[in-house]
Amino acid sequence: MKENIILSKNIFWVGKVDDRDVPFHRLTLTKGTTYNSYLLMTEKPTVIDTVDLSFGREFVENLKNLIELDKIKYIVINHTEPDHSGALGSLAARAKNAVIVCTKLAVDELKEMYKLHNREFLIVGDGDTLDIGGKTLSFIETPYLHTAETMITYCVEDKILFPCDIFSTHVANYEYFNDMAKEDITADYIGYYKLIMHPHRRYVQNMLKEIKNLDIKIIAPSHGYILRDKVQSFIDIYDNMSKNTEESKKALVLYSTMTGSTKKIALLLKENFEEQNLTSEVIDINKIPREEIMKAITEADAIFFGSSTKYADMIGNMEDILKDLHTLNLEDKIGAAFGSYGWSGEAVEVVQDYLKATNIKLLNTSDVIKSTGMIDIEFPLRIRFSPKEDNLKSIERAAIYTADLLLSTI
């Protein structure tokens, strides 16, 4: 680091510019990126986030040019992903007096990732504040932006928001601030939002409500440009892109049940869809003419196909309906399988196999994890016997995830 990059009085950028082609989330960032870390030189010196694991040693050596490391009082980790927490192990080893500040969920992750089982942690949550000697930090938890343990930090006196991944860009640059950029950064800013934040857009809306009343003069994210010009316009982009469409969307739940358990799941799905402002319809496929069922499928935006399992197979007319799907163009529809079972639940998997053979956008756990990082959403939705209290969250999460896909504007 050749010069001090100053955001405000006693607040410095101490990050790393990575101008390589950077592998990231199974993509290559051809413009590179930055890992933004910040040093607040107060009476209780504080570091907010670190840099990628690959640059830990370099980060610590650069930081030594600004401060004696054993004088650092706090290390704030907004998000545990190793492109932000990656230098924590190296820094903690040298800043032996520092207390690590993070959310409750982050503690065990950081202990395991960096062998910090014997370090002191300060757990913070919504509305908590921390006096760092001349400046005050306040904290807001922002789960799923973009992982469960994340939070954002606000410096009250300097009116600077440190939101980690939120409001970032993936651009390696040596201008640091958006008003110094050589070209318009909007396209890169939107591209980052679509890649990282949009799969979690309902949580974007929650976050925006939380920061609405903050006086924000600078946004200092963890990647790319620090935003100090037209700050509200960048917040507005997130707001506009994360809102629900005003178009009406319909979810159809088709089921074939043996003892009534799969019907219960179907009705719970309907209830949850309607709570998410979707029109919803439930049909017992054994009681309705096939042509009416096929018409209902064509009119729906999402279709859930559910069957109980009997002797390792589906029951009732479900297989006939699934065989007829090849006559329909389902490319603009979302599909999912669900069902109740007693032993191994083969019927749900058979339904899933049939749906794989169509051009419907089939929901599956693998794609959910790869696109969102969420591990508490399961497709197909499999429930043993009748749905119980501990199954209700799984049904709710499946419905919410589906609704978010249907109501997206992009």
Going by pLDDT thresholds of 50, 70 and 90, the confidence category of residue 23 is confident
Going by pLDDT thresholds of 50, 70 and 90, the confidence category of residue 24 is confident
Q: Is 151 within 8 Å of 124 (Cβ atoms)?
A: yes
CATH architecture of 250-406: 3-Layer(aba) Sandwich (3.40)
Please tell me the total number of residues recorded for the chain in this structure.
410
Average pLDDT along the chain = 96
| Beta-carbon count within 10 A of 164 CB | 28
Distance in angstroms (rounded) separating the CA atoms of residues 5 and 210: 29
| Beta-carbon count within 10 A of 180 CB | 13
- Checking 295-301 for CB contacts under 8 A at 24+ apart, the result is 296/252, 296/254, 297/252, 297/254, 297/325, 297/328, 297/330, 297/333, 298/328, 299/250, 299/252, 300/250, 300/251, 300/252, 300/333, 301/249, 301/250, 301/251, 301/332, 301/333, 301/334, 301/406
Record the pTM.
Answer: 0.93
CA distances 351 to 93, 305, 343, 355, 380, Å, are 53, 7, 17, 6, 9
Q: Would the pLDDT of 189 be above 90?
A: yes
Residue 140 structure tokens: 């807001």
Q: Would the pLDDT of 338 be above 60?
A: yes
What's the pLDDT tens digit per position in 247-275? Answer: 999 999 999 999 999 999 999 999 999 99
Residues of the chain with CATH 3.60.15.10: 5-242
Residue 393 structure tokens: 């969250």
Q: Stretch 303-331: mean pLDDT, rounded? A: 97
Q: Is 76 within 8 Å of 101 (Cβ atoms)?
A: yes
Residues of the chain with CATH 3.40.50.360: 250-406
What's the pLDDT tens digit per position in 109-125? Answer: 999 999 999 999 999 99
Question: Would you give the DSSP letter of residue 410?
Answer: -
CATH architecture of 5-242: 4-Layer Sandwich (3.60)
What's the pLDDT tens digit per position in 2-19? Answer: 579 999 999 999 999 999
pLDDT at 299: 98
pLDDT at 1: 46
Q: Would the pLDDT of 363 be above 90?
A: yes
